[in-house]
Amino acid sequence: MPLTLDSLMRPVRTMTATIAAEMGEVAQGSTHFHVLFAVGILLFVITFLVNLAGVRWLFSSRRAGQNGCFS
């Protein structure tokens, strides 16, 4: 939870930037190392689910006889 409304406008670092910036400096096998891998796995799962939802929507709209975006 943000402490103040001002904290919503502060800069943040993306998950991919965090992995790229910190992976070279982290000790192999440390907790930090494992958390970076967990962040990478989470990013993969989110991407996979978004792609899966898009493919399901595309094929279901074609199966229903509707003209999808890519017909």
> pLDDT digit string (tens) for 8-58?
788 888 999 999 999 999 999 999 999 999 999 999 999 999 999 999 998
Contact criterion met (CB below 8 Å) for 36 and 42: no
Q: Exposed, middle or buried: residue 31 (CB in 10 Å: 0-12, 13-18, 19+)?
A: exposed
Structure confidence at residue 68 (pLDDT) = 53
Q: Report which residue type is found at 13.
A: R
Report the SS3 class of residue 71: coil
Distance CA 11, CA 5 (A): 13
pTM of the model: 0.69
pLDDT at 69 over 90: no
